Amino acid sequence: MYERLLKFADPTINFKTRSTPYPPTSSQAQIVKTSSAGTIIFMTAVSYATLMTMICSFLVNERVSGLKHFQLISGVQLKSYWLGNFLFDLVKMYVTVLVSVALLWGFDMGYTSCQYCFLAFPFAVLPFTYVFSFVFKSEASS
C-alpha cells in the first residue's frame, strides 16, 4: 500500500523490500528434529508390522493346511525345515531393513544408533513371531 502511495506521489521512486528472518532458536530446531524422528519411527513401524503380519500369516496358514506335515512325510528333516523358513524370512526382513538403513544413510539423517537397532531387529522379532504364531488358530485371525 505504501509503495503505491509513494509511486503515485513520485513515479521515479524505486525501493526494494527485503525480509530476513531470525535464525531458528534451539527449541525450534529440536522440535523439527523430533518431528523428523517421529515420522521415521511411524513409517518404519508400519512397514515392519506389515512384514511381521505377512510372516505370521504364512506360518499359521502352513500349520493349518498341513504343509509342514506333508514336507515331513516327504523326507524333509524338521531342523532343515525350520532353518530354511527362518533363513528365508530373515532374508525378507533384511531387504526391508537394508532399504531403511540405506535411506537413513543416504539422506544423512544422523541416526546411527537407529541404524544399529534396525540391523539387530530381525534377530529379535523373528523368533518371537515364530513362537507367537501358535496363538492363532486360523490365518484370518492373525
Contacts of 85 (CB under 8 A, 6+ apart): 59
98, part of any domain: yes
Residue 47's contacts (CB-CB under 8 Å, 6 or more residues apart) are: 96, 100
Residue 22 lies in a domain: no
- pLDDT confidence of residue 90: 93
How many separate domains does the chain show?
Answer: 1
Please check whether residue 109 lies inside any domain of the structure: yes
pLDDT score, position 141: 60
Q: Is residue 17 part of a domain?
A: no
Give the tens place of pLDDT for each residue, 47-68. Answer: 888 888 888 888 888 888 887 7
The residues of the chain scoring below 70 in pLDDT are 141-142
d(CA 138, CA 142): 7
Per-residue pLDDT, 81? 85
Instruction: Identify whether the C-beta of residue 96 lies closer than 8 Å to the C-beta of residue 44.
Output: no
CB 142 within 8 A of CB 60: yes
**The CA-based dihedral angle spanning residues 45, 48, 79, 72, taken in that order and rounded to the nearest 10 degrees:** 130
Does residue 140 fall inside a structural domain? yes
Q: Is residue 27 part of a domain?
A: no
Q: Which domain does 88 fall in, by range?
A: 51-142
pLDDT of residue 132: 85
Residue 141 maps to a domain: yes
pLDDT at residue 59 in the model: 86
In a domain, 95, yes or no: yes
